[in-house]
Amino acid sequence: MRLRGSLAIWRRDMLVLRRNIFSELVAVAAYPLTIYLAFGIGMKGYIGLVEGVPYSLFIAPGLITMTAVNAAYSESVWSLWFHRRVQYTVDSYRVTPISVSEIVVGKILSGFSHGLVKGLAVGLVIFAITPFSFPPGHLLAYLAFLVPGSAFFSCAGVVCGTIMDKPETIGRVEAVFIMPLIFMSGLFFPLSSYPAALIPWVRALPTTALFEGARQSLVTGGFSFGYGLQVAVTALLAFIAAVGIFRRKMAE
């Protein structure tokens, strides 16, 4: 598969981000930082240690990861919907040598880049206001989860942006499916808090593998091969689904 078309789409989306970088960062950082201030700092005196670390440090990696994958999803779904239903940019791809796979890869790259920039912004603020820190060597293991995790959310955004014509439907999907999947994955509490009968089902969620694996990697430097494989396979399956669904939509 050629990547020239994918890079052209990625560069176009990055130019749009550069023109609106300040407002984008303020908007995307407000929500996770509000949560962190309310729970991580406001409740730390009442919750104490969680899995051996202060609560503010327990939720910090999850909030950074949440910001990155949410940005990846939002960029993919809204960009694709807008280009398909408003600007009709997608229609122009029919008369260019850009393949369907290149379009999807371009949107995945754009989503990941948006997520990386916005997650980094939130991470820097959290590092500035808390004692949360980690050895630089932990970052590589963390990225092994963040990259395929962002790809998975980007693919989910491509699917939603492809099949949904109304913006309010996209908003409902995010509220009913995306956010609950994130919150159920141990973002604010350890999985041991669930009833024993539910824990295997929660662990089966791809978001659980992403958030649990990313937290372990960033805080302890360890790498869970099982979680890593689960996230990678889910991202691959999501990519195959996104390409297939987008190809059928382009053929209509």
Who's near 105: CB < 8 A, 6+ residues apart? 1, 3, 6
Q: Per the confidence metrics, is the pTM higher than 0.95?
A: no
Question: What is the domain count for the chain?
Answer: 1
The domain containing residue 197 runs over which residues? 4-251
* pLDDT band for position 66 (cuts 50, 70, 90): confident
Question: What mean pLDDT is predicted for residues 131-142?
Answer: 77
107-111, 133-137, 204-208: the lowest-pLDDT one? 133-137
Per residue in 234-246, pLDDT tens? 999 998 898 888 8
Tens of pLDDT, residue by residue over 24-38, are 777 777 777 777 777
